[in-house]
Amino acid sequence: MLYDLLGVLIALSFIFAMILEVIIGYKLLSMESKSEPQKIKIVAPRKSLFRRKENKQKEQEQKRMETLMANIDAYDGTAFGQKDLD
């Protein structure tokens, strides 16, 4: 009976030590990085779809503007060397 209690006491002390090490390690790591722990961002699917559409439209407009500027730079009085603006 005494050995059973001693075994349980030793097992609990090892478990407590492991938990304590994890907590101390986490605190030391967060102190070294000098920032708050990272928070998980939850984004609504509807918002992400709108952002994708907006980004796609911005990319298309950016490509159009780049093509337009390239056409202006390449203009020599003729239509040769001009790119189509889709």
With beta carbons less than 8 A apart as the criterion, state whether 50 and 43 touch: no
If asked whether residues 27 and 52 sit together in one domain, one would say no
pLDDT at 38: 62
If asked whether residues 47 and 31 sit together in one domain, one would say no
If asked whether residues 51 and 79 sit together in one domain, one would say yes
If asked whether residues 29 and 48 sit together in one domain, one would say no
pLDDT in tens, 20-53: 888 888 777 776 666 666 666 777 788 888 888 9
Q: In terms of pTM, does the model score above 0.85?
A: no
Distance CA(24)–CA(30), nearest Å, equals 10
If asked whether residues 66 and 28 sit together in one domain, one would say no
Residue 54: give the domain boundaries. 43-86
pLDDT at 55: 94
List Cβ neighbours of 51 (8 Å cut-off, separation of 6 or more). Answer: none
What is the number of domains present in the chain?
Answer: 2
If asked whether residues 28 and 47 sit together in one domain, one would say no
Distance CA(62)–CA(85), nearest Å, equals 12
* Averaged confidence pLDDT in the chain: 84
If asked whether residues 64 and 26 sit together in one domain, one would say no
